[in-house]
Amino acid sequence: MKQKKNHFILAATLALSFVGTSTSVVNAAGLSTTVSGSDTTGVQVNADGANTVGVNVNVTGSVSTGVNAIGFNGVVGTTNHSTGIGVYGENNDAVLPLGNGIGVAGKGYYGVYGEDKYSGAVAGAYGVYSNGNMGATGTKTFRIDHPLDPENKFLIHSSVESNEVLNMYRGNVVIDSNGEASVVLPEYFEAINRDFSYHLTPIGDYAPLFVKTKINDNKFNIGGGVPGMEVSWTVYAERNDLFLQKRPALRATEVTKQEHERGRYQFPLDYDKPSELGIFEPSSDGFLSGRK
């Protein structure tokens, strides 16, 4: 522990010596530390108080790195403030879109891993959350321990894909003495949906079911049933909340690639092309970068 403390003091002293200076030397390092052994820390900074910064690094030039940390855990950020951020990355590319504009990138067996610290017990907590769109070239799945063999297997289910931005609602209803049934949808239904489609399935026997009245005031009526018969119903609707209303381009299914993406591929090897033609191809330092 003493060795670890001394090294931190040296690192802090070196850092202070660079305050107010600048350099344009190629391959230069403003601060470089090396430690070895278990439970060691190269640089540890504690900052407290309003508008304080523990480490502030500005670098310019192509293939430049503000902080390059190598270790069992390369970078660890922690905070005890409920509105604080453990690790934050932002790409300030001023003109959209010249490159990939990546704020935080991860690469590994799990490229980026997030964990809800409450293990799902608190509503509104997320392991990974996007305040905007989410995308993937692969499948979107849930993976759980297999309920019949949790020690040895996973159970995986995939999300349903669509060329539309859809919401789905379903349920069962019992036909009344008049051969009809009323289906009541959530009170917010018409506020966030448009362009409805219906599917009706009689259970136990055939019946010439039909939608007697379409959705109005968040409900619709079924006709043609047999009294006492159970009917399964499904309604598909196109999402139409304010987010989609103000961003109609998000409904597009065929999109022209941006200039820096043209001639490049999500997975170039799938098209028998060299990996260098990947949209997220690695730069010379191994990090992800966009072509400009």
Alpha-helix runs per DSSP H in 76-203: 189-192
Kindly list the structural domains of the chain, giving each domain's residue range(s) and its CATH number in brackets, ordered by start.
1-88 (no CATH), 166-245 (2.60.40)
Identify any residues that bridge with 239 across adjacent strands, giving them in sequence order.
193
Cα distance between residue 255 and residue 260, in whole Å: 14
Tell whether the model's pLDDT for residue 21 goes beyond 80.
Answer: no
- Residue 97: asked if its preceding bond is cis (omega within 30°), the reply is yes
What is the reported pTM?
0.77
Cα distance between residue 205 and residue 225, in whole Å: 10
Q: pLDDT over 70 for what percent of the chain?
A: 82
The three-state secondary structure class of 221 is strand
Cα distance between residue 270 and residue 142, in whole Å: 25
CB 222 within 8 A of CB 173: yes
CB 236 within 8 A of CB 168: yes
DSSP letters, 53-66, are -S------STT--S
- Structure confidence by residue, pLDDT tens digits, 113-167: 888 888 889 999 988 888 988 888 899 999 999 999 999 999 999 999 999 999 9
Q: Once rounded to an integer, what is the mean pLDDT over residues 222-227?
A: 98
